[in-house]
Amino acid sequence: MKQTYIAEIGKHIGAEVTLRGWLYNKRSSGKLGFLEIRDGSAMMQAIVSKKDVDEATWEASERATQESSVIVTGVPREHPKKPGVYELDVKTLELVGLASEYPITPKEHGVEFLMDHRHLWLRSKRQHAILRVRHTIIKAVRDFFDNNGFTLCDTPIFTPAACEGTTNLFEVNYFDEEKAYLSQSGQLYNEATAAAFGKVYCFGPTFRAEKSKTRRHLTEFWMVEPEVAYAKLDDVMELAEQFVSYVVARVLESRQEELKVLERDITKLEAIIPPFPRLPYDDAAKMLDEAFAAGKLENKFEYGSDLGSPDETYISSQFDKPVMVHRYPAAIKAFYMEPDPLRPDLALCVDVLAPEGYGEVIGGGERASSLEYLLKQIAAHGLPEEAFDWYLDLRKYGTFPHGGFGMGIERCVSWLCGLEHVRETIPFPRMLYRLKP
RNA sequence: UCCUCAGUAGCUCAAUGGCAGAGCACUCGGCUGUUAACCGAGGGGUUGUAGGUUCGACUCCUACCUGAGGAGCCA
C-alpha cells in the first residue's frame, strides 16, 4: 500500500489511494461520517457511509477522536457542490493511535494556553500556513545569495567576546581559558570570510539576553547576514532592496494558499518592488519633529538619539514600501561603523523599516576599514583591545572597504504573514519567561 | 527595570455586594451531505495565593504570584 499525499490527490481521481495522517475534525449525520483528514501536506474530507464499509471500519470511524492517527483507503472524487475540491469515499479506515481528549478544541483559545501547547498547536491550519511561509522565505534567502555569487560561511555560535559589549549576551561557563558567550551576530567573522571569498553570508541562530517583552522580540532568533568586499553604503542599500524584493516575490509566487489562510492583504506585498525610498537620518528627524508638532507623536524626538519604536512606526507608515533610513549619528551606533567622510559625526549605516508598522527588519552598513580609526573606536567604547586582535588583523593584512547587513528571519516572516507577534513565526519560540515546550 | 491590563469548569467567557452559569470539549442517545454541523440528556468548580472589610465577597481593600500588552534596547 503506497501512501498518497493529499497535496497530490488531484492526480488520483477515481483510483484507490491510501492516506496516512490524523483526524483533524469529525462531523456525522447518522449513518454518514465526515472526517477531516490531515497528513502534513494538506487536508481533505473523507466520507464514511455505513452501508458501504465493513463493520470494523464503521466502528473505527465512530471511535476515532480528534487528532487520532489513522490510515484510510478510498477513492477520491470531486466534491458534489464545490468544483475543484476533492473528497475521499472511504473503503477502509484503520485506527493507528486513539488520541486522548485533545486540549486544543475548534473554538478560540488564549495565548498562554496555546503557547503551553505549542507542540500540539503546530498542527493547526494557521500555524501550518505560517511555518510553510517561513520555509519558503528561508529557501528564497538561500537561493538569492547562492544565485548571486555568495559563498555560505557560517560563523561560530560560541564566541569569546562581544561585538558590542557583554550586557545582553548569554554567558557560557565551559571553556577553561575564558568566558564564552552565545553569538549575537556573525558579522565580525563575516568580515574575515569576506576577505577570503569576496561575497559571503552566514545564516544561523542568534541570541540576545535583552529583557525585551514585546511582539517583536525573541531571545533566540535566526538571522541571515551577507557581507560584501569592496561594497560601499550605496551598494549595501541596493543589495538589501534587491534581496527583500526577491524574497517577497518568491512568497507571493508559491504561497498563495497559505497567505489566504492567514487573510493577508497581498496587494500590500505586491507593492514591494525596487527602488525603496532612502531617507537620511536628518530628514527622518525633521519628519518626526513635524509629526510631533501636528500631534501625531506623543514624545518629541531628540536629534542625536536613536529612533524609538513609535518613531519607526510613524516613519514606516508614511511609505508603502520598506524605507531605508541611513546615516545615523555615529555616537549611537556600533564601534565598527565607517564614518561618513562628508560628515564624520554620521555613520555610513542603514536600517530598513518594513511597512505596516513592522519596524526594523534589516540593519547594516559600511564597516570601518582604517586600523587607526578602529583602535580609537575600541578605546572610546571601553572595549578590550586584545579581544579584537584577530579582527584588527583584517585591517593590517590588506584592508578593504566592505559592508553588509543582517535580516531577522522572524520579523520578516511576521511582516509577510501579517502577524501580530513574532512568537508564531518559529516552531518553538524562546522568549523572556518562555522556555517550554 | 518601569507603566497598563487580566486571572472563575479542560478551553473561551458571563454572573449590579445576595442560589456558581453558558458555549465548546468529553460521555450517552438521534440524524445519509456535514463545513467551528445540528438536536436532546449527563458528568465536570479550593472563583490565582494569603490576609482584611462586611450579616454576607467571584464582586470592595492590601500584599504577593502568574500571564499579556507597551516603554527602554534591539533584528
Beta bridge partners of A172: A180
| Three-state DSSP state, A429 | coil
Task: Clarify whether residues A28 and A137 are in a common domain.
Answer: no
Q: Distance, angstroms, CA A109 to C1' B56?
A: 35
Task: Clarify whether residues A235 and A89 are in a common domain.
Answer: no
In a domain, A12, yes or no: yes
- Asked whether residue A406's C-beta has any atom of DNA/RNA strand B within 7 A, the reply is yes
- Between CA A101 and CA A61 the distance in angstroms is 16
Q: Which residue is nearest to the C1' sugar atom of B75, using CA?
A: A408
Which cell numbers hold the place of A191?
568580515
Total count of domains within chain A: 2
In a domain, A326, yes or no: yes
Q: Which nucleotide is nearest to A187 (CA to C1')?
A: B75
In a domain, A183, yes or no: yes
In which residue are the cell numbers 512568497 written? Answer: A251
What is the pLDDT averaged over residues A154-167? Answer: 74
Please answer whether residues A35 and A6 qualify as being in contact, where contact means their C-beta atoms are separated by less than 8 angstroms. no
Q: What is the CATH number of the domain that holds A350?
A: 3.30.930.10
User: Which bases on strand B have an atom closer than 7 Å to a protein beta carbon?
Assistant: 1-2, 10-13, 23-27, 30-38, 66-75
| Three-state DSSP state, A33 | strand
Task: Clarify whether residues A59 and A204 are in a common domain.
Answer: no
Using alpha carbons, select from A59, A64, A61 the residue that is nearest to residue A33. A61
Q: Which residue is nearest to the C1' sugar atom of B71, using CA?
A: A309
Please answer whether residues A273 and A232 qualify as being in contact, where contact means their C-beta atoms are separated by less than 8 angstroms. no
Task: Clarify whether residues A171 and A239 are in a common domain.
Answer: yes
Helices (H), A215-327: 233-254, 256-261, 266-270, 281-293, 309-317
Q: Distance, angstroms, CA A34 to C1' B2?
A: 53
> What was the pLDDT predicted at A320?
92
Q: Of the candidates A97, A131, A149, which is a domain's last residue?
A: A97
Q: Distance, angstroms, CA A433 to C1' B51?
A: 28
Task: Clarify whether residues A220 and A361 are in a common domain.
Answer: yes
- Asked whether residue A412's C-beta has any atom of DNA/RNA strand B within 7 A, the reply is no
pLDDT tens string A168-185: 888 888 887 778 889 989
> What was the pLDDT predicted at A163?
53
The CA-based angle A145-A147-A150, given to 5 degrees, is 45
- Asked whether residue A115's C-beta has any atom of DNA/RNA strand B within 7 A, the reply is yes
- Between CA A8 and CA A279 the distance in angstroms is 47
Mark residues 413-432 of chain A whose C-beta is closer than 7 A to nucleic acid strand B. 421-423, 431
A 10 A CB-CB count for A304 gives 12
- Between CA A294 and CA A346 the distance in angstroms is 28
Q: Of the candidates A41, A68, A97, which is a domain's last residue?
A: A97
- Between CA A190 and CA A399 the distance in angstroms is 14
Mark residues 229-258 of chain A whose C-beta is closer than 7 A to nucleic acid strand B. none
Identify the top-confidence range among A53-67, A97-111, A128-142: A128-142
* pLDDT-based confidence at residue A296 (cuts at 50, 70, 90): confident
pLDDT tens string A405-432: 999 999 999 999 999 899 999 999 998 8
In a domain, A431, yes or no: no
Q: What percent of chain A has pLDDT over 90?
A: 69
Q: Which domain holds residue A50?
A: 6-97
* pLDDT-based confidence at residue A164 (cuts at 50, 70, 90): low
- Asked whether residue A83's C-beta has any atom of DNA/RNA strand B within 7 A, the reply is no
In a domain, A108, yes or no: no
pLDDT tens string A332-390: 898 999 999 999 999 999 999 999 888 899 999 999 999 999 999 988 888 888 888 99
Task: Clarify whether residues A401 and A372 are in a common domain.
Answer: yes
